[in-house]
Structure 1
Amino acid sequence: MAGKGPVAVIDIGSNSVRLVVYEAVTRSPVPLFNEKALCGLGREVLSTGRLPEDAVQKAFSALRRFRALCDAMGVGTVHALATAAARDAENGPAFIAECEAICGAPIEILTGRREAELAAYGIVSGVYEPDGVVGDLGGGSLELVDVRRTQVGAGITLPLGSLALQDRSSKSLNKADKIVREAVREAPVLSEMAGRTFYAVGGTWRALARLHMFQKDYPLHVMHGYRIPAKEALEFTRLVHRADAETLAHIDAVSNARRPLLAYGALVLENVVRAGRPAEVVISALGVREGLLYALLNPQERAADPLLEAAQELNMLRSRSPLHGEELVAWTGAFFRSSPVMEESAEEVRLRQATCLLADIAWRAHPDYRGEQSLNVIAHAAMVGIDHPGRAFVALAVYFRHMGLAEEGNAPAILGLISPGMLDRARVLGAAMRVAYILSAAMPGILPRMPLVVKDTTLVLTVPADMANLINDRVHTRLRQLARLIGREPVLTFA
């Protein structure tokens, strides 16, 4: 169940040991602190059967620091997980016992199926209505599981983690390729993926995506929701595992510790895409840790929209009047519903609602920079349940609300992420909000009394008599701008 106060998740993985402290267990958890140590616990487990001693000591050192950090941050609850390396090694039980003594908390040793389930919950938590196969690539194993909206299938685990694959193949990429092909061929879950989405989870795949992003000069440096068409993913992964990593362009975007594993991660992704034939690969920044938090929520909390939860929280923290943001949702909803040409899909409704809640978060900035600041905050915020075109739509609509409808400043950098139709809709929403804010000065109680609706060939703003003094030339100008965008004649009526 969602609760107040910081909560920590310690993830003892085959490659890294990580601490993430979240603000609370909520539908849209916000990380307060995130740190990892690349220990390489799974480096030799398949060949020796044991966790390497140097890796074990690195892990103990990291965990001591993590425990001290939790104490300093006033963390009330620590959830600790361990994955393939600790699960499979003969000295795993002794290692886990010492880890529990250091952490002061029990450690759940995840089975392959449980790890796949939590990874899938991470996708359900962070992707709007997911439909595809989740693949969580760690250092020791690859978990695969089918997900359709909130329905999670039975997961499988394969010994194809980057470190494990490096170990089993004696660092031969040719041998590794054969191992991966044979294992993937026997994964029935991939037969259900054709034409759907492959959700890639795990640090090595995020590093690959970061490299791809920089090579494309992609305008939005947000990893969660980054999409790569399947054909492009195949071409890129082949390039990575056939080239010397140090010769790749923008390789400095990947940490030195990750670079030796890139080729193995690329091999696995190439074979998964080839076998499953998805339409696209989507990178997720959420995985097992966030899946665990999602699993702690009750059904009502799980049903909440994470995008709107995050937008509402920012509205509460940073707007002049949070209630005004909620009134703006209703006011623009009535306007859009009244216009036959502005009919909204369910996705467009939630994007508009998020936009209205975020429309005033930069009011403390200098007026000349409110649009730019809003765009940067929204485009790069730690929000989930929204893809990159959605981020661009919301950011641009709020940008237009502050700066007018010209394409100026930083806006063009993300214009290419949305379709012409989405851009037109962002302009209309931005123009409608410009009318709303000049009428209301961001104060509640005004918009509900001044409905704006389309009636046949006109755009009608109805003003109660006791609010007539709020109308001036600026209101007329902004109303005309909005009317022009939707091909209507502006009309002001006084009631």
Structure 2
Amino acid sequence: MLTDQRASNRIAIIDVGSNSVRLVIFDGMTRAPAPIFNEKVMCGLGRDPEDTGKLNPEGVELAVVAMQRFATLLQAMKVSHIDVLATAAVRAASDGQEFCDRIHRETGLTVKVIDGLEEARLSALGIISGDPRASGIMGDIGGGSLELVLLDQGEIKKRVSVPLGAMRLHAVFGSDRARLTAEINRHLDSIDWLTDAPGQQLFAVGGAWRSIAKLFIAQENYPISVVHNLAMPRGETEELTHIISQQSRISLEKVGGVSKRRIDSLPHASLVMNMLLSRMKPREVVFSGHGLREGWMYEVLPEDLRQRDPLLDACLSFAEDGERFHQHGEELFRWCAPIFSDLPENLERLRLAACIIGDIGWNEHPDYRAIQSYNRILRHPYLDLNHHDRVFLAYAIGSRYTGNFKGDESSDRILDEETRVTGRIFGHVIRLGHTLSGGAEGILSQTSLKIEDNKMVLEFNQSIATLYGEVVEQRLTKLAKLMNRDSEVRVA
């Protein structure tokens, strides 16, 4: 049973959008919050084909039923901190306030309607929460609006909200490409800073744009099915969005991989991205699973938590939940530092992450520890890593559990041979550290691992020399060989 204190730490946000209503519950206020509950209902509040200026009546009823269910669940889960945020559809509708009043009357939940600039700010904070030094333009396309934010090293410089939501464009313009193009041009032409971030990144937020990434994954047999932080070069993205923008519903249904509720408006979302790319000229498009909800969560964090590294915090949480000796990781990181004296900053960060989660496979069957650990990291939904670094970290941990880890198609396609060698070295040194110490704290600090005269030297204090044995010798020798060195053992 969970304690009342743990339950009281739960935090919830309900995002009432133009297309969907979603409840996400986070199990506490941390730098890398993991949802313990995440449910979406596709209501279509903003679907207004007759241009009445009101919310879709059918969507209203679906949303009310969904909110009643959410309110009951929140009470049962003893969630005390609840925010309900409504965006473009509700703020633009003439009966938006009536809808909010009904929700409060029938569920007890209070809906806060946020304006477009606030929605843009929160979505940008969602990107910053995963990449505190993000630079480029964040674009968040919803059903009713498109929010754009200029980012410079994690700072919000400029922001705007325009009525270029995918559902709205489909409802108003249908397949009339001339009128659709004119409407997109009219709004994008009014934003004079879209050319201020050439060669940087477009951070693509929103379900419609994530569907583009899903189509790419399906069509290219891309080896990682995780959309978050998938990066595509601009040229490749321009070609794909141009093709999608010209497809019919029937054609897109044959492709698969996209929600049927998004198919009608996907060509419109693709055209918006294509025309945005032609103005911005980014280096690449990074599809993000973060957005308004993560930005809201990031903003409510105390400043000291905001300053923590989201990847390392996620790894620490991962280790605390499943490892035998989760305190061992940072000691292991310090112990092997002397043999990694010239690593770039990003690889040092990944080395620390690998040391922290270097014991995650301890309770798997020995024959499957390597591949199971590899797959857990490769597909873990809450690691804020680009796909290259995600595969590298997974490969390093796979190598930690077997002397000659092969990986799979992901590592073959995404990592070059030099990078795989580095991953194997990381894995072998973690394997040696755990073998030598048994995972217990305080042992590694009585030994040292260093490079001297082109030899890898493992030195023991006399008091613990009995820890040296055949298995330790074998793993030291393999590590040294991998680094093109001989090995030597000394007793101080």
Quote the residue 2:368 is aligned against: 369
Identity of aligned residues (%): 34
1:357 aligns with 2:361: no
Which residue among 116, 119, 125 is the counterpart of 1:115? 119
Quote the residue 2:427 is aligned against: 430
Quote the residue 1:289 is aligned against: 293
Quote the residue 1:225 is aligned against: 229
Aligned-pair RMSD on alpha carbons? 1.8
Which residue among 207, 210, 216 is the counterpart of 1:212? 216
Which residue among 260, 265, 268 is the counterpart of 1:264? 268
Shift of 1:242: 1.1
Quote the residue 1:404 is aligned against: 403
Q: 1:100 to 1:384 in 2, by over 3 A?
A: farther
Shift of 1:103: 4.2
Shift of 1:396: 0.5
Alpha-carbon distance between aligned partners in 2 of 1:6 and 1:57, rounded to the nearest angstrom? 28
Shift of 1:447: 1.1
Quote the residue 1:340 is aligned against: none
Shift of 1:487: 2.2
The aligned runs of 1:77-226 (5 Å cut-off) are 77-127=81-131, 129-226=133-230
Q: Does the aligned pair in 1 maintain the 2:170–2:264 contact within 8 Å?
A: no
The aligned runs of 1:445-484 (5 Å cut-off) are 445-484=442-481
Residues 112-152 of structure 1, C-alpha deviation per residue, up to 9 Å, x if partnerless? 11000000000001235311110000000000001223311
Quote the residue 2:75 is aligned against: 71
Shift of 1:6: 1.5
Shift of 1:427: 1.2
Q: Does the aligned pair in 1 maintain the 2:392–2:411 contact within 8 Å?
A: no
User: Could you list the runs of 5+ residues in structure 1 that have no partner in the other structure?
Assistant: 338-342
Q: Does the aligned pair in 2 maintain the 1:144–1:189 contact within 8 Å?
A: no
What amino acid sits opposite 1:396 in the alignment?
Y
Alpha-carbon distance between aligned partners in 2 of 1:461 and 1:265, rounded to the nearest angstrom? 58
Alpha-carbon distance between aligned partners in 2 of 1:350 and 1:103, rounded to the nearest angstrom? 46
Quote the residue 1:348 is aligned against: 347
Q: Name whichever of 321-330 and 228-237 sits farther off.
A: 321-330
1:274 aligns with 2:274: no
Quote the residue 2:13 is aligned against: 9
What amino acid sits opposite 2:94 in the alignment?
E
Shift of 1:464: 1.4
Shift of 1:190: 1.3
Shift of 1:321: 0.6
Q: Does the aligned pair in 1 maintain the 2:68–2:106 contact within 8 Å?
A: yes
What amino acid sits opposite 2:114 in the alignment?
L
1:22 aligns with 2:21: no
Alpha-carbon distance between aligned partners in 2 of 1:448 and 1:367, rounded to the nearest angstrom? 28
Alpha-carbon distance between aligned partners in 2 of 1:101 and 1:309, rounded to the nearest angstrom? 40
Shift of 1:474: 2.2
3-state DSSP of counterpart to 2:55:
coil
User: Could you list the runs of 5+ residues in structure 2 that have no partner in the other structure?
Assistant: 1-5
Q: Does the aligned pair in 1 maintain the 2:100–2:110 contact within 8 Å?
A: no
Q: Does the aligned pair in 2 maintain the 1:128–1:385 contact within 8 Å?
A: no
Alpha-carbon distance between aligned partners in 1 of 2:104 and 2:414, rounded to the nearest angstrom? 46
3-state DSSP of counterpart to 1:194:
coil
Alpha-carbon distance between aligned partners in 1 of 2:134 and 2:126, rounded to the nearest angstrom? 11
Quote the residue 2:338 is aligned against: 334
3-state DSSP of counterpart to 2:193:
helix
Runs of 4+ in 1 over 6 A off after TM superposition: none
Alpha-carbon distance between aligned partners in 1 of 2:369 and 2:80, rounded to the nearest angstrom? 38
Alpha-carbon distance between aligned partners in 2 of 1:346 and 1:228, rounded to the nearest angstrom? 24
Shift of 1:267: 0.7
What amino acid sits opposite 2:361 in the alignment?
A
Quote the residue 2:387 is aligned against: 388
Q: 1:428 to 1:216 in 2, by over 3 A?
A: same
1:419 aligns with 2:416: yes
Q: Does the aligned pair in 2 maintain the 1:215–1:249 contact within 8 Å?
A: no
Alpha-carbon distance between aligned partners in 2 of 1:224 and 1:212, rounded to the nearest angstrom? 13
Shift of 1:5: 1.9
What amino acid sits opposite 2:373 in the alignment?
S
Alpha-carbon distance between aligned partners in 1 of 2:115 and 2:411, rounded to the nearest angstrom? 42
Alpha-carbon distance between aligned partners in 2 of 1:493 and 1:180, rounded to the nearest angstrom? 71
Q: 1:148 to 1:250 in 2, by over 3 A?
A: farther
3-state DSSP of counterpart to 1:383:
coil
Q: Name whichever of 243-252 and 262-271 sits farther off.
A: 243-252
3-state DSSP of counterpart to 2:44:
coil
Q: 1:211 to 1:170 in 2, by over 3 A?
A: closer
Shift of 1:352: 0.8
Q: 1:210 to 1:170 in 2, by over 3 A?
A: closer
What amino acid sits opposite 2:270 in the alignment?
A
Q: 1:250 to 1:446 in 2, by over 3 A?
A: farther
The aligned runs of 1:307-322 (5 Å cut-off) are 307-322=311-326
Alpha-carbon distance between aligned partners in 2 of 1:403 and 1:229, rounded to the nearest angstrom? 35
Alpha-carbon distance between aligned partners in 2 of 1:126 and 1:394, rounded to the nearest angstrom? 17
Q: Does the aligned pair in 2 maintain the 1:310–1:383 contact within 8 Å?
A: yes
Q: 1:57 to 1:406 in 2, by over 3 A?
A: closer
What amino acid sits opposite 1:490 in the alignment?
S
1:440 aligns with 2:437: yes
Which residue among 298, 303, 309 is the counterpart of 2:302? 298
3-state DSSP of counterpart to 2:265:
helix
What amino acid sits opposite 1:230 in the alignment?
R
3-state DSSP of counterpart to 1:416:
helix
Alpha-carbon distance between aligned partners in 2 of 1:428 and 1:128, rounded to the nearest angstrom? 29
Q: Does the aligned pair in 2 maintain the 1:138–1:161 contact within 8 Å?
A: yes
3-state DSSP of counterpart to 1:461:
strand
Shift of 1:443: 1.7
3-state DSSP of counterpart to 2:261:
coil
Alpha-carbon distance between aligned partners in 1 of 2:451 and 2:107, rounded to the nearest angstrom? 61
Residues 302-354 of structure 1, C-alpha deviation per residue, up to 9 Å, x if partnerless? 111010001001111111111212211211223312xxxxx122211111111
Alpha-carbon distance between aligned partners in 2 of 1:46 and 1:236, rounded to the nearest angstrom? 31
In the alignment of these two chains, the number of paired residues is 487
